[in-house]
Every structure is written in C-alpha cells, then in structure tokens.
Structure 1
C-alpha cells in the first residue's frame, strides 16, 4: 500500500479502488467513447454548425459583445446543433476524465515502490481534474450565452475567455504528463521482467 498523502489521497484512493484489470476495461471503454464522440459526434455536428459561416470555437474566442452577438445571430438557424454539440462536449469531458484517470492508475500501480516516479501519474491525475473542470466551465458559459442571446450578462464573455485560456494551459501539461507516466510505467515493467528473467537464468 502507498503511504497516504493529503494532496494526492483522492487520486491514490481511485487508483486503489479497483484492480488493474478493471482500470484497463474502463480505459478501453472510455477510449472508444472518447474517439466515438469525436468521429461520430463532433465532426458531423461541427460541419452542420459551420454552414452558418461560424463555429462554436469562434464564439469561444470572441472577446466583445458585438462579436458574440454577430456570431449568435448567425448560429440561430443551427442552434439545435449547437445545443447537441454542448451535450457531446460534456460526454467528451467525462470520457476523457475516466480515460486519463484509468491510464494514470495503471501507471501508478506499475510504479508502486518508486515513490519519485509515482509522482508523475499522481500529478497527471490532479491536472486532469482541473483541465476537465475548466473545460466544463467554458462549455457552461457558452451554454448560458447562446440560450439567452438577447439578455446574457457581458461578464460571461470574460469568464468564457478566461476558462478557455486556463483549459488550454492545463491541456498543455495534461497530455505530456500522461505520455511520460506511460513511458515510465513501461520502462519499469520491462526492467522488472528483464531482472526476473536474469534471476531465473542464474
């Protein structure tokens, strides 16, 4: 068992809650959902929205009320698709959370006994939580804007922009950290297998 740590205790508990096999199954299902949402959801729905001349990403990048109002007016004919995209975004966030958590949990189980190396997946899980949180918040501000196009609070634009900026900053750490955790876990696993083989040869 790992020594409890106040900062990492929740992610350690998640990693220890089920077996590595279960984490593997969750990762597989989450990955299929993750890819499926992109290929079967985001791609066709985004194309439908872009027939308006704008995309939701342009709405998220808008910084003034005039820009936002112009985009909202153009999106009116495809507002149903915009709403569907927001729902898909939350499914994407949830699938990504479970995918990253399960992969980090597998890495953490492999790195047990290597305290310093184990910090990588632990930090990765914490970063993932905040990354998905700000992604969800960004989507929330967008939903509040386009569901009330005539009377939304202007501060929602600032909140949307700030959430997007923080989200992408976290994503820039989140993905490399996951990659590093997987590489470290593979190195430790292959090293242990090699050491075990050497012992048997003796």
Structure 2
C-alpha cells in the first residue's frame, strides 16, 4: 500500500497544485495544440513524405537493416519533411501529456470522495507518463537512425520496434482509462442530482 501511495504521490501533487479552472484552461489550450498539430502539421507533412513511396510508419515497422536502408534512401528528397515531422511529434507528445494530465486531474478532483474510484485517474496519469516516455524514445531511435544513415547501430532497429510495440500496448489501456474516468464523473454527477431531487420530495 505504501508503494502504491509513493507511485501516485507525484500525480496527486500535480492535480492539487492547480485549481480546477486552471486545469480546464490547460486542457483547452493543449487540446487545440493537440488537434492543430495533427490537422495542420502531421497531415500535410506526412503527405509530403509519402511522395517518396514510404512513410515514417513504414520506417518504424521495418525490422531489417536492408528495409530501413531502402526507406532512408527514398527519404532523401523529403528529408526536411522527415525532420519536421520528428519535431512535430515532440510537440504532439507534450500537448498530449498536458491534455491527459489536466483531464485526469479534473476527474481526480471529482472522484476524490471515493478511494477506489479515484484510482482510475491516478492509474491513467501513470499510464500517460509511460506512453509519452515510450513515444519520446521511439522518436529518438528514429532520429538517431535517419541522422546517421550510413553507420547507425543495427540495435537501434530492434529498440525502435520494441518501443513502438510497448507504446501501443500502453496506449490501448491509456485511452479507455481516461474514458472510464470521464464516464464515472458523469455517473457520479447524475446520481447526485437524482438523489438531491428525491430528497427534495
């Protein structure tokens, strides 16, 4: 139990450090950056990269040096776009981190009355840290590969593949956890309103 409390202490401190209004503002701003990065960054830049015949997704899924080298040669005419996409990816990671942490903080404040229910947003925040860390590492391995195409260590390919697989495993739990937390808030709100109306009768 003490270990669990230690793990959750940083996320509890983050949630308590700001008011609900500030968390809501941070969530709104980060959501705009999050969506804007996708719509005005990822989409056009990815289309430019795909004129090479490959995407960065193909690079991340490549498992052999020959596959990676083929993709890197194809990327040469659009190398600036590949670099820009890596920069945008880190912006996306930061915006997503703030967005998820702010939403989980709001959920945590709403569910603070129940020690079990409040575990949902706490676990969600830990998952967010893990997924964003894995996403950052995956992006780093890609950068190290394409920035040194002639002599990058082959081990980076395995690291890139493993990090990507781990990231998607965490994300598969992270997003539903946030959704569950939001649903619990609405259920608590609904039941409290229902109880208050019954008490007034």
Q: What TM-score do you get using the length of structure 2 for normalisation? A: 0.96
Corresponding residue of 2:71: 71
Runs of 4+ in 1 over 4 A off after TM superposition: none
Corresponding residue of 2:41: 41
Give 1:192 shift: 2.1
Q: CA RMSD in A?
A: 1.1
Task: Note the 1:122-137 alignment, pairs <5 A.
Answer: 122-137=122-137
Deviation readout 1:136-169 (Å, 9 max, x if unpaired): 0000000000011011111110110010000000
Corresponding residue of 2:176: 176
Unaligned runs of 5+ in 2: none
Residues 1:16 and 2:16 are matched in the alignment: yes
Give 1:193 shift: 2.8
Give, in whole Å, the separation in 1 of the partners of 2:190 and 2:156. 50
Corresponding residue of 2:27: 27
Give 1:184 shift: 0.4
Which deviates more, 40-49 or 5-14? Answer: 5-14
Corresponding residue of 2:94: 94
Give 1:22 shift: 0.6
Give, in whole Å, the separation in 2 of the partners of 1:188 and 1:15. 19
Q: What TM-score do you get using the length of structure 1 for normalisation? A: 0.95
Corresponding residue of 2:58: 58
Corresponding residue of 2:158: 158
Give 1:6 shift: 1.0
Give, in whole Å, the separation in 2 of the partners of 1:6 and 1:126. 12
Give 1:173 shift: 0.3
Residues 1:112 and 2:112 are matched in the alignment: yes
Corresponding residue of 1:85: 85
Unaligned runs of 5+ in 1: none
